[in-house]
Amino acid sequence: MAKPIYMDRVIAPHRSLSPQGGAVLLAVVLAFNVLVAIFLIVIRAPPVLPFLGLDVLALWVALRASERAARRVERIQVTAEAVTVSREDEKGARTVWTSPTAFTRVGVEQPGEHEVRVRLMIHRKRLTLARALGPDQRVELANALKDAIRSARNERWS
């Protein structure tokens, strides 16, 4: 018989610019820089041309870094036996944190006015969750996680 899962949430960073949108943006900037380069050649100012290439190169590097960062994924699962958090970075390396549901606590810290940290705690170990979410979404996640852990404990001890 399958064990019930009280929470199974995947958290991934949101990117408003798709890879296709990034390619279009890069093409538009490149086309504009080519027009500026033609103008600079006409007015005999070629020393400026390398900087136009650096501009496009910097934009390409930034778009690549953004695409790589979008591949970070965090998965939170709560069962009656354990709370499991698995993280996968942009290179595919996976880190797994597991703790018994009965002893795991959820903490919400607000060190600043617009900053919220959600942490899983067991004894002296802590794990910060949901860095990809906004402050309001972190509070919602913390409440849902508390409810899921409470339900899992109730199932285990009933």
List pLDDT tens digits, range 122-150: 988 998 898 888 888 989 999 999 999 99
Mean pLDDT across the stretch 117-124?
89
5-11 β-sheet, strand order: 5-11, 73-79, 82-88, 94-100
| Those residues with Cβ within 8 angstroms of residue 103's Cβ, 6 or more apart along the chain or in another chain | 122, 123
The domain locations on the chain are 5-14+72-157, 19-69
Indicate the pLDDT class of residue 2, thresholds 50, 70 and 90. low
Q: Is the pLDDT of residue 107 over 80?
A: yes
Predicted local confidence at residue 90, as pLDDT: 81
Per-residue exposure over 53-64, b if at least 16 CB sit within 10 Å of its own CB, e if not: eeeeeebeeebe
In contact, 95 and 86? CB cutoff 8 Å? yes
Predicted local confidence at residue 62, as pLDDT: 93
Predicted local confidence at residue 158, as pLDDT: 59
pTM of the model: 0.72
- According to DSSP H, which parts of the chain are helical? 19-42, 49-69, 135-157
pLDDT in tens, 25-75: 999 999 999 999 999 999 988 888 888 889 999 999 999 988 888 888 999
Structural domain 5-14+72-157, CATH architecture: Roll (2.30)
Predicted local confidence at residue 36, as pLDDT: 92
Tokens of 110: 């607000």
Cα 106 to Cα 104: distance, rounded to the nearest angstrom? 7
Q: Is the pLDDT of residue 1 over 70?
A: no
